Amino acid sequence: MLSGIHGKILHINLTTAEIQVETPSHDFYKLLVGGRAMVAYYLLRDLPAATDPLSPDNLLIFAPGIMQGTNLPGAGRHGVGGKSPLTGAIGSSEAGGWWGHEFKRSGYDALVIRGRAASPVYLWIKDGAVEIRSAQHLWGLKTAPAQGAILAELADDRIRVAQIGPAGENLVRYAAVMSDINRAAGRNGLGAVMGSKNLKAVAVRGTMPAPVAARKELNGVATWLGANYKELAAWATAGIGRGTQDSLMNWGAVGALPTKNFSEPMFENRALLSGERNYEMFLKERDTCQACPITCKQVFEHDDPDPYRKLHPDYGGPEYETMAAFGPTCGVDDNLAVAKANELANAYGLDAISTGASIGFVMEAFARGIITEEETGGLAYRWGDAKVLLRSVEMIAQRQGFGDVMAEGVARMSQRYGPATGAFDITVKGQELPMHEPRLKHVLGVGYAVAPVGADHMMNVHDTDFSSPGQGLDRVNSVLEKPVGPLSPSVLDEDKLQVFYNELNWMHFQDCAINCHFYPYRYEHLAQALSGVTGAEFSVRDILAVGERAQTLSRLFNVREGFGVADDRLPRRVMKAFERGPLADIEINDEKFSWALRRYYELMGWAPDTGIPTDEAINRLNLDQLLSSES
């Protein structure tokens, strides 16, 4: 008997209001665990090929993993998936907070939603009971008032809410699904999928924890973390500005802070956006996710009579990605404006990365004379204009005026304005690049190219984690036949690809389990934790195979939807060397990149010429029986 699960997948059809419960086999859970692997499986099994992502036929899948509900530190996360309206590929995004823990305790292991309600609704799930309730009175509300209204209506402050804001209702192609108001499953436009279903929110409450087979083994991992996290996660516990914001100054110093749409090597005014400065000016308190001692989340507050200069603590505070996307990418050095843009993104339910990148694209097109004030409704999109930045975030969320164009994302705007914009269309598979520079981290660039969802920095490997002795190298060397030493970030060779293969499977596994990537766990820690929760024996190789299954299932779905080797590419701009700055003359060589791509396919057991998973790889991962039994 497998522990850590309820053995129930909840299926809801919003068109018919039909509610069903599926009871998968234990092998299903052991092979997939949860999260991204489960999302890809259901998309392959239940979604017809070539489905319009915004049609009622698309699936919206909330997929926690076996770790949720166990109180393991780092497991306060959950996954959301579907076919992406931004890319047409698999959509898979994760969020922190408390929703995943609470949902798992409601008696289900995952939630699969299809169809479209005739009018706005929200779901109310408590201890196995399910209601579809009217959300007519919630439609149009921003995330904080919407959550407040749901909690008041259901008379329970311990309810957790996953929801969309007006951006999702208006089908912005990079709308987010927001949890706890300020945690975003931000990428791939899954908020638009939710909006297309007339689904405003999913409210959950649970008192039914899944059984844990060996609590002692699980507690042993938590005990190790408690003894080591202050040292191994010092970036969050004792950093200057604390949290990911400090990365901005670090990357800026080495010329790896994306500036003016990745066109310039240095952002000279980066100190104005530093985590230390933000911390001193705006910090109200620090927040955390369920069972997490690290408290890396910052809560900002600032009082000002100007509503565009006032920060509301309900919406949290910006992370590095947000600061960089709304700041240097758009040439903006006003830290209050950038923090306010983050607040607006959380209030309206927008992916901050794609929003900032879309505004940066327009600013470059404006500078080149491709887009003019006549088209933008009189707004001059000049680099560094903080007022235009803030106005644009609202326009995008409301699809108001020129915001309707920006709401389509960079790739579609590039198609609209023609070949002259191709040089600064900084997307992969139609998704905007995150705020990490491939010219510094070359295997990260390979990771951008092969990520099933389009460019992504989380289901990826950061070369700088392996450029000096430390926990990154120690972790991956534990499984390599030939241990490697420190590796230059700008090298693509066999050692780097061995690291990439194992670490990428590790990252995908964590998005199945689901666990926070910022934790200093080693492979053996989560193998022990998963064994303790389930009562089944998981080795290190077993958990890495879960990540490999997630990648392979995602690849099978994308191949079915028409994606291939030609889509595993990087924008030319971020392969070409800067002429000045710390990264001057460092490029991603075409030949080396092509070799690395092919080597990745080989390591995965995919056909080197096509990138299609082979029968041998499918059989090795025990996916043949799973896929054939459900065909």
Count CA within 13 A, CB hemisphere, residue 337: 21
Residue 336 to residue 322: CA distance in whole angstroms: 12
Residue 570 to residue 383: CA distance in whole angstroms: 24
pLDDT of the residue at 612: 98
How far lies 231's CA from each of 19, 213, 289, in Å?
A: 48, 30, 20
Q: Is 82 left (phi over 0), alpha (psi -120 to 50) or beta?
A: left
How far lies 129's CA from each of 66, 374, 448, 542, 595, in Å?
A: 21, 54, 41, 35, 53
Sign of CA dihedral 555, 561, 566, 572: negative
Residue 49 to residue 83: CA distance in whole angstroms: 10
Q: Which helix (H) or strand (E) holds 78?
A: strand 78-83
Count CA within 13 A, CB hemisphere, residue 524: 8
* 460 closest CA partner among 515, 504, 404: 504
What are the structural domains, with CATH classification, of the chain? 9-205 (3.60.9.10), 257-425 (1.10.569.10), 442-518+539-629 (1.10.599.10)
First to last CA, the chain: 26
pLDDT of the residue at 240: 58
The pair of structure tokens assigned to 133 is 């309730």
Residue 144 near residue 160, CB atoms below 8 Å: no
Query: Which residues lie closer than 8 Å to 83 by C-beta, 6 or more apart?
Result: 43, 47, 51, 53, 58, 59, 89, 90, 91, 193, 561
Q: Which helix (H) or strand (E) holds 201?
A: strand 199-205
Residue 232 to residue 494: CA distance in whole angstroms: 28
Residue 139 near residue 349, CB atoms below 8 Å: no
Count CA within 13 A, CB hemisphere, residue 527: 15
β-strand partners of 199? 121
Which residue has 């843009």 as its token pair?
A: 341
pLDDT of the residue at 108: 98
Mean pLDDT of each 10-residue bin along the chain, 631 residues long: 96 98 97 98 98 98 97 96 99 98 98 99 98 98 98 98 99 99 98 99 98 97 93 75 86 98 98 96 94 91 97 97 98 98 98 99 98 98 98 98 98 98 98 98 98 98 97 97 97 98 98 95 98 98 98 98 98 98 98 98 98 98 85 46
